[in-house]
């Protein structure tokens, strides 16, 4: 609408201002995308660096597939990226049985990357019941769940519902780590708003490393 209002007609006749506006809008969108990418890279880097320094882990297990930058980010932190089954590519649905089998076979005390909702790049998420089972598989192994939460509110349209996975793990007593981006769901695209959160079992654990 802005494009048509400035130009006042179809492309082809006196479109210098139109082309200039298109170029400006294109450049703005590119900058916004790069800022969002930078934000989440930084937050994931902080989580990876924390795991390397305090988590006593050298590897992190990620769903196959996952966000294209995860592997490079964790390599940068000194963590070797490994994968567990996630997508059934032939059926284009969650390979839940394969996922659970792989998680059961992880070494104890492993760091495990999980997408809180709106899995990137597939959009395929476990059900609440499946999240509960995933939690019960990882809990006895002493694994460290590392949640990537970049789209809370966009999977179901309800931010509370999209927090189900993280809250299930917290309620089950896991040492949860969560990276969050608020740039999209708060509409704060130019402010690069996000955080890294850690759940500790008590105040002593939460303060000893400061």
For residue 94, the cross-strand partners are: 87
Highest mean pLDDT, choosing among 12-16, 29-33, 55-59, 122-126: 122-126
CA atoms within 13 A on the CB side of 175: 18
Q: Are 164 and 128 spatial neighbours (Cβ–Cβ below 8 Å)?
A: yes
Residue keyed to tokens 């309800």: 158
Q: If pLDDT is split at 50, 70 and 90, which confidence band does 40 have?
A: low
Mean of the per-residue pLDDT values for the chain? 82
Contacts for 10-14: CB closer than 8 Å, 24+ residues apart: none
User: What per-residue confidence (pLDDT) applies to 208?
Assistant: 67
Instruction: Give yes or no for a contact between 176 and 26, defined as CB atoms under 8 angstroms apart.
Output: no
Residue 180 has pLDDT above 80, yes or no: yes
pLDDT digits (tens, 9 = 90+) for 99-156: 999 999 999 999 999 999 999 999 999 999 999 999 999 999 999 999 999 999 999 9
Residue range 17-203 forms a domain whose CATH class is: alpha beta
Are 62 and 99 in contact by the 8 Å Cβ rule? The answer is no
Catalytic annotation, residues: 67, 148, 150, 184
191 closest CA partner among 181, 177, 200 = 181
Instruction: Examine the pLDDT at 210 and tell me if it is beyond 70.
Output: no
Query: What pLDDT is attached to residue 107?
Result: 97
pLDDT at 41: 62
Residue 79 confidence (pLDDT) above 70: yes
């Amino acid at each position: 609408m802005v494009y048509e209002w400035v130009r006042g007609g179809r492309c082809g006749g006196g479109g210098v201002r139109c082309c200039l506006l298109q170029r400006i809008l294109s450049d703005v969108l590119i900058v916004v995308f790069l800022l969002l990418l930078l934000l989440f890279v930084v937050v994931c880097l902080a989580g990876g660096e924390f795991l390397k320094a305090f988590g006593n882990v050298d590897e992190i297990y990620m769903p196959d597939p996952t966000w294209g930058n995860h592997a490079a980010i964790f390599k940068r932190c000194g963590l070797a990226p490994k994968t567990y089954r996630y997508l059934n590519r032939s059926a284009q649905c969650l390979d839940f049985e394969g996922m659970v089998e792989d998680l059961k076979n992880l070494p104890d005390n492993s760091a495990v990357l999980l997408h809180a909702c709106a899995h990137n790049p597939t959009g395929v998420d476990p059900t609440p019941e499946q999240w509960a089972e995933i939690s019960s598989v990882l809990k006895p192994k002493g694994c460290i769940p590392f949640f990537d939460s970049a789209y809370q509110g966009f999977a179901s349209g309800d931010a509370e519902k999209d927090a189900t996975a993280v809250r299930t793990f917290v309620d089950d007593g896991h040492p949860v780590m969560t990276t969050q981006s608020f740039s999209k769901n708060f509409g704060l695209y130019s402010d690069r708003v996000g955080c890294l959160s850690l759940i500790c079992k008590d105040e002593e654990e939460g303060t000893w490393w400061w």
